[in-house]
Amino acid sequence: MAQKTFVPQIDVLGLIDNAEIVGVIDLVNHLDMTDAAATKRLHRLHKAGYIEPLGIERGKWVLTNLGDTRLEYLRRMENGKRR
């Protein structure tokens, strides 16, 4: 199967929420994203304030409070569509 260049934001934030700490390789392995797509997505999420660098380990990211709020919002929206 070909790797994906796009994965919905809710899936990426959900992975970060579940794993607590992620890097590019985690997005590649768990969401089947390309390296470039994973890197770009993490950069965009950081720029939006949804994730921040772990600090002690280069290339590792954690969810911020804003990111947690965004994930909750996306989950509510997704659940609303299913009704």
pLDDT, tens digit, 9 for 90 and up, residues 25-71: 999 999 999 999 999 999 999 999 999 999 887 899 999 999 999 99
Give mean pLDDT, residues 14-23.
96
Q: Measured between alpha carbons, how far apart are the two ends of the chain, in Å?
A: 32
CATH classification code of 9-82: 1.10.10.10
Q: Given this model, what pLDDT does residue 83 score?
A: 52
Higher pLDDT residue, 19 or 3?
19
Q: Given this model, what pLDDT does residue 38 score?
A: 96
Asked if 60 and 21 count as a contact pair (C-beta separation under 8 A), the reply is yes
Asked if 68 and 16 count as a contact pair (C-beta separation under 8 A), the reply is no
Domain parsing of the chain, residue ranges = 9-82
Give yes or no for residue 3 having a pLDDT over 60. Answer: yes
Q: Given this model, what pLDDT does residue 81 score?
A: 78
